[in-house]
Chain A
Amino acid sequence: AQSVTQLGSHVSVSEGALVLLRCNYSSSVPPYLFWYVQYPNQGLQLLLKYTTGATLVKGINGFEAEFKKSETSFHLTKPSAHMSDAAEYFCAVSDSSNYKLTFGKGTLLTVNP
């Protein structure tokens, strides 16, 4: 069975600081990994995804994530936080044998001026 663990339910950074949101997964087969963002009172929106190939994936709004198989991780980073990045971020996993997306519990990012 797949699972996703997001370390830290709440992360707070200053504007301009590095954003690092952690995600570890468990999957018995090669995973497909996703990061979604949810702004207040909105649905989830895809930030980026890893399926195959290059392990460093770039997404929208300056975010990127690196798939590290040895660490079973897919951490999300952004070099410089902006106020508009304040939202909840969800890591999710699926695989070739399972169309279902299994989501983590989410990490709420706040950006302080």
Chain B
Amino acid sequence: DAGVIQSPRHEVTEMGQEVTLRCKPISGHNSLFWYRQTMMRGLELLIYFNNNVPIDDSGMPEDRFSAKMPNASFSTLKIQPSEPRDSAVYFCASGRDSNPTDTQYFGPGTRLTVL
């Protein structure tokens, strides 16, 4: 099993540019989560998909952030326009279903730096 795959692993961009982060969940998993990790705020859930449908996006910080899951094997998180305060590590995680006892399997993360 390849695990959760994220790309790119590192992204450096300038303020105002569009950034797209990509995630391939584990095959057969029905739940997908996007998290942001910063020193100040720790790990925050941004959005949660179940069966490709966004269930809860209350953690998305602003309208500049958007996420899609066009099919069961691919999701994107887009920031447009990016700002320096968006600098963080963004993790994608997947789970077999929406059961709250489920294990979430995390990808290696994308380290985003906005200059």
Which residues of A pack against B, CB within 8 Å?
A: 32, 36, 41-46, 49, 51, 90, 94-96, 98-101, 103-106
- Contact check, B101 vs A42: say whether CB atoms are below 8 A apart: no
Can you list, as one digit per residue, whether each of B55-85 has a CB less than 8 Å from chain A (1) or not (0)? 0100000000000000000000000000000
Q: Do most interface residues of chain A lie in helix, strand or loop, or is the interface mixed?
A: strand
Known: A46-B105, A98-B100. 18 other contacts (CB 8 A): A32-B100, A41-B109, A43-B4, A43-B93, A43-B106, A44-B93, A44-B104, A44-B106, A45-B106, A46-B103, A51-B101, A95-B100, A99-B98, A99-B99, A100-B45, A101-B104, A103-B43, A105-B42
How many residue pairs between the two chains, A and B, have CB atoms under 8 Å in the bound complex? 49
Q: Which residues of B contact A101 (CB under 8 A)?
A: 45, 104
B107 within 8 A of A: yes
A96 — nearest CB in chain B belongs to which residue? Answer: B100
B54 within 8 A of A: no
Which residues of B pack against A, CB within 8 Å?
A: 4, 31, 42-43, 45, 48, 56, 91, 93, 98-101, 103-109
- A90 and B93 CA atoms in complex are apart in Å by 15
- A24 and B22 CA atoms in complex are apart in Å by 34
- A88 and B88 CA atoms in complex are apart in Å by 17
